[in-house]
Every structure is written in C-alpha cells, then in structure tokens.
Amino acid sequence: MLELKNVQTFYGNIQVLKDVNIDIREGEIITLIGANGAGKSTTLLSVSGIVPPRSGDIIFDGKSVTGKAPHDIVAMGISQVPEGRRIFPYLTVMENLDMGAFLRKDKRAVKKDMGHIFDLFPILAQRRHQAGGTLSGGEQQMLAISRALMARPRLLLLDEPSLGLAPIVTRRIFDIIKKVNLEDNTTIFLVEQNANFALKVAHRGYVMENGRIVLSDTGLNLLANENVKKAYLGG
Ligand code: ATP
C-alpha cells in the first residue's frame, strides 16, 4: 500500500533520511522506532508531503505521492496525527472534528462518521461543546486521532501518540489504535519512542538509527532481539 524507495530527505543542506526503504501492506500496523533525533518524524513528514524528499520515491496505492502538496496527499487517503497533537485549542471538540473533514463534500456521511467517533471515544461525546485546549493530554490525543480519522484515511500516520501521557492512558490510546486498525480496516504507520508499547501492537517494525533503517522484523521478534532490548527496551 505504501512504499518508500531510497528516500533521502534534507533540512537545508543537512541530510536527515539516508536511503530509507519501508514497505507497508494494507491492513498492517507498522511501527518505526528509534532514538530521539533518529529521523522518525521526518519520515512521516516526508510521506505527508510537509517535508518532501529530495530524492527517492514514495508510492501509495501504486501512485507516486512524491512532490505532491500535503492537501492532495490527504485527499488521496493519507492523514497524519502530528507529534504533540496540535489540536485547535480554542475550537470545540466538534469544531476540531469538522476541521478534519474539511476536504470532504459528503456532509451527511461526515455527520455519521462523527457519530462513529463518539462511539469509539465516549469521553469526546461528553465534551463535544468544550474547547479542545481544556481537555486532558490523553483526551487531546484522542481528539487528534479522531480529527485525522474524520478525513476517512486509508492510511493513518501517527507521530508519538504516547508522548507526555501516563502509562495507563498510553495503554488506552494503543487499544484504540488496534481497534481502528481492526474495525475500520485502517492501515497504520506508527512512530514511537516507547518501543515496548509500539512493538506489542505492531505486526512489523523498523528500527532507525541516524536516518537509516538498520533492522526490520515482526513486532514479536524485535521485542525478543537482544540489540533492540539493550538499546530501546531498557534491558
Ligand atoms: P524525536 O523523537 O525527537 O522527534 P525523530 O526521530 O522523530 O526524533 P526528527 O524529528 O525526524 O527525529 O529529527 C531528525 C533530525 O533532523 C534531528 O537531528 C533534528 O534536529 C533535525 N531536524 C528536525 N526538524 C528540523 C528542521 N525543521 N530544521 C532543521 N533540522 C531539523
């Protein structure tokens, strides 16, 4: 469904991604783990068109998205949940969700999808008229994921959903990620520093070091890998 082929991405003349190759099949949860500054966020920003690669190619559903504008990439079926959530703090929960459906013309279906979101996240239904900025960190993460889902993506890009959240809240968020993957058949590309959580939900994972993919395997095999344990799992 998504293929990154020899992707090289730069900020000015600093090269961050070096020959990155990643392959994601429809229906999978794929995680990219790695240390701070390894280039994980840049990988997602390259896919969503915010920081386009300088060379290489990114293919989605057989079509190249390289060099396309971010809104065109959203329209093709890829939505991103940015690191740090970045919901609209002064808009209500419902208005935030409406913003996620900005490009859609099927307004009746949008309404139905909002109902589906409220089934998935009953707390957001309770808080529907509350300003986004007044929600807790976990609720804001749920809102950020929901806002991205309102575009009806086939591929959801998630940048560090666990950032700043207590373990119990992180567990809830990961349960919801699994549910979205299973029930809505949404393919998920998850970037995480919390490798332990991420490898447990992912079908397969990639390990990035200094802008390069150094290892890839099933989530379970990576959890058992001695090098991964030492570097990313605290033991
Ligand atoms: P983190 O978990 O801290 O977000 P990451 O693996 O996602 O780390 P990136 O955010 O992709 O890493 O950053 C990769 C490298 O690119 C880092 O060295 C970072 O300092 C640099 N970088 C990121 N954004 C920019 C930018 N806008 N301009 C210049 N350099 C940047």
Domain positions in the chain are 2-232
Full pLDDT tens readout for the chain, 235 residues:
999 999 999 999 999 999 999 999 999 999 999 988 999 999 999 999 999 999 999 999 999 999 899 999 999 999 999 887 788 999 999 999 988 888 777 888 888 888 989 988 899 999 999 999 999 988 999 999 999 999 889 999 999 998 888 888 899 889 989 998 998 889 999 999 889 999 999 999 999 999 999 999 999 999 999 999 999 887 6
Instruction: Name the strand (E) or helix (H) holding 93.
Output: helix 93-100
Which pTM value belongs to this model? 0.92
CA distances from 71 to 201, 204, 211 (A): 29, 28, 26
For ligand 1, the distance from its centroid to the CA atom of residue 95, given in whole angstroms, is: 30
CA distances from 118 to 28, 109, 230 (A): 24, 14, 40
CATH architecture of 2-232: 3-Layer(aba) Sandwich (3.40)
Pocket of ligand 1 (CB under 6 A): 11, 14, 16, 34, 36-42, 83, 193
Considering only CA atoms, which residue is closest to atom 23 of ligand 1? 42
Please give the DSSP secondary-structure letter assigned to residue 8.
Answer: E
Pocket test for ligand 1, best of 7, 10, 11, 50 (most atoms within 8 A of CB): 11
Q: Under a CB-based contact definition with an 8 Å cutoff, are residues 44 and 121 in contact? A: no
